[in-house]
Amino acid sequence: MRFALTAVLVALIAFGSAAATMNPECKLVIDFNGSAVTYADITSQTDPADFTAFTAYVVLVDVGTGSEVGMTTISFKLAVTAGTSSPPSFTSMLPGGLAIGSWDTGVTLASTDCMSGPIVYIGSLSCFYLGTPGAITIEDHPEYPRWVVDCNEPGELDYYCVWSHGGVNQAPPASPDPSCLGDTAIEAATWSTIKSLYQ
């Protein structure tokens, strides 16, 4: 299994210069809903009672463009504020469960199928709240920062941005990517208006 995922990563490097076409607006987010259908359903804050379990989901979304994301492989790292949870347990939600690395040092997940939609649930982090408000943040993989491979044949390397971290009994920290924020539907409408001025 490790060999298969390593082969995928080697292929990524070979095709890393290919134009990114399938995921022009892909964004990674922490969600506490667990059953979001559109980006409007994403819940970036949870308020568990002391000493109760909760789950944070890592989700790839397309926000407001009317298209879908499509992926087969993704790399990221997660961090949890000290004192917020007992040691969490991470589970891949992708078919095949191929994984290299650990969620807290950098993990690459691969799917045996193309995963597509406006919402793609990638993994879950099972936590147990210890009473200290904190955050679950998305950080860069040390070797493959923000890499996501689309469903093209051969797969093309795209890059996601971090739309929202997760807040536990507090608001989530600000996104490290200002360009990832905002109402993309309005931005898309504005861009259409700008383009029409030059036609």
Query: What confidence score (pLDDT) does residue 78 get?
Result: 98
CATH number of the structural domain spanning residue 137: 2.60.40.680
Kindly indicate the confidence band of residue 195, based on its pLDDT and cuts at 50, 70 and 90.
very low
Number of domains, the chain:
1
Tell me what percent of the residues of the chain surpass a pLDDT of 90.
60
Query: What confidence score (pLDDT) does residue 180 get?
Result: 83
Query: What confidence score (pLDDT) does residue 47 get?
Result: 97
Instruction: Choose among 137, 144, 149: nearest CA to 173.
Output: 137
The residue assigned the tokens 């890499």 is 147
Q: Which domain holds residue 159?
A: 2-197
Q: E strands along 93-170, which residues?
A: 98-102, 106-117, 119-128, 134-139, 147-149, 157-159, 161-164, 166-168
Query: How many helices (H) and strands (E) are present in the chain, helices listed first?
Result: 2, 13
For residue 147, give the 3-state DSSP assignment.
Answer: strand
Instruction: Choose among 180, 18, 33, 41: nearest CA to 118.
Output: 41
- Read off the pLDDT of each residue in 57-63 and give the average, rounded to a whole number: 89
Query: What confidence score (pLDDT) does residue 97 get?
Result: 87
pTM to 2 decimal places? 0.80
